[in-house]
Amino acid sequence: MEPEILPRCPDLLIATTAILTIITKLDVNKAAGPPLITNRLLKVTGTAIVYPLSRLFNLIIQTGQFPTVWKKADVVPIPKRGGSAFRPILLLPPLFKLLEKIFADHLSNYLYQNKLLSDSRYGFRKQRSTEMQLVQMSHHFSQVLLQKKEADVILLDCTKAFDRTTHDVIVDRLSKHGVTGRLLALFSDYLRGRSQRVMVDGYFSDNQPVKSGVPQGSVLCPTFFTVAVNSLSTCVKSTVLQYADDVVLHRTVSSEDDCRTLQEDLDNLVVWCRNAGLDINSRKSQHLRISNKKRKWRFQVGRTSLRVIQYLPRMRGNVSA
């Protein structure tokens, strides 16, 4: 959702009071990335450090450049539930995260106040929780059954979405949402020239460059990703619901023409994602039929038919085929 006449994200001048407010709320038990300036140290120094930090942060805004050392992160692999896969959690410098928090609040308030985010988007937003998304889906599909209608629901799995969204796409989408000038230059610099190393049991790998994606564990990550995929719903005729990297595409169907329209929407969505640097995992994506009838229509991602399921995984007991 990108309005023709855009507002402009205002410039930012960071006050000492804003820094002190965030410092007082820091969790002293959180691990720190390189360099090892901890949250505990920031809280102890308190009011003595806020003025030099405000000078530093405002200079970063004026120059449009982050310190190189702040672009280095340690990655801690955390096991995912019920499998052998791992989720990468980044340990970032506390000063970097402190500045990030100020930027994230500024950008989120601008997007929210100007109503620039799509109604299809849930999570990482004020008054748009995942619970609201589930309630909306449950109500809609219950009405479909009560009215003796049918619906098809496509649950799409985006492979490593936060890691693969291209930097060029993120910067372009920020620009199309009214972020310009110094802030846009700064956010572009934030994304580029990053590196990370893996840390396991106190041992480190060599640093490797990060050429795409948003840093998982960073404060700005959810907002940047939300902006990057904000226009996804404009490429389809059916209804889209999004949370984080989950995408649900659904449509009430009364004929095979509706099924064909949904398949066309699915094809368009796959192309849109590919252009944004995202890949749809056809093996993990799923199809749910909301119907009292038996239909043989199968939806495909590429040449792969989607697996038909009997219930929405996160709504078991509420909505089933």
d(CA 74, CA 306): 37
Report the b/e string of 102-124 with b at 16+ CB within 10 A: bbbebbbebbeeeebbbebbbeb
Mean pLDDT, the chain, integer = 86
Lowest mean pLDDT among 123-137, 149-163, 252-266: 123-137
Show the tokens assigned to 48: 């003595």
**Structural domains counted in the chain:** 1
Instruction: Compute the average pLDDT of residues 60-64.
Output: 94
Q: Is residue 272 part of a domain?
A: yes
**Beta strand 86-91 with 72-79: parallel, antiparallel or unpaired?**
antiparallel
- Per the CB < 8 A criterion, the answer to whether 102 and 22 are in contact is yes
Instruction: Flag whether pLDDT at 33 surpasses 80.
Output: no
Q: Is residue 23 part of a domain?
A: yes
User: Could you tell me the CA-to-CA distances from 179 to 2, 99, 116 in Å, in that order?
Assistant: 12, 18, 12
Cβ neighbours, 10 Å, residue 166: 17
Q: What is the DSSP letter of 303?
A: T
- Per the CB < 8 A criterion, the answer to whether 240 and 232 are in contact is yes
Cβ neighbours, 10 Å, residue 45: 14
Q: Is residue 247 part of a domain?
A: yes
- Which of residues 133 and 64 earns the better pLDDT score? 64
Cis before residue 35, ω within 30 degrees of 0?
yes
Summarize pLDDT for 251-283 with one digit per residue, the tens: 999 889 999 999 999 999 999 999 988 889 999
**Residue 154 pairs with which residues in a beta bridge?**
249, 287
Instruction: Flag whether pLDDT at 3 surpasses 70.
Output: no
Amino acid present at 109 = N
- Which of residues 299 and 92 earns the better pLDDT score? 299
d(CA 55, CA 27): 24
Secondary structure of residue 30 in the 3-state scheme: coil
Count how many residues are written for the chain. 321
Give the containing element (helix H, strand E) for 164: helix 161-164
Instruction: Flag whether pLDDT at 71 surpasses 60.
Output: yes
Cβ neighbours, 10 Å, residue 69: 11
Q: Is residue 320 part of a domain?
A: no
Show the tokens assigned to 57: 């942060």
> Which residue's entry shows tokens 């955390």?
78
Show the tokens assigned to 305: 């038919």
Q: Is residue 7 part of a domain?
A: no
Q: Is residue 317 part of a domain?
A: no
Residue 140: pLDDT band (50, 70, 90) is confident
d(CA 209, CA 261): 42
Residue 318: pLDDT band (50, 70, 90) is very low
Residue 131: pLDDT band (50, 70, 90) is confident
Q: Is residue 297 part of a domain?
A: yes
In which domain, by residue range, is 60 found? 16-311
Q: What is the pLDDT of residue 172?
A: 96
**Residue 253 pairs with which residues in a beta bridge?**
150
Lowest mean pLDDT among 20-24, 125-129, 221-225: 125-129
Instruction: Flag whether pLDDT at 315 surpasses 70.
Output: no
Q: Answer left, alpha or beta for residue 64, where phi above 0 means left and psi between -120 and 50 means alpha.
A: left
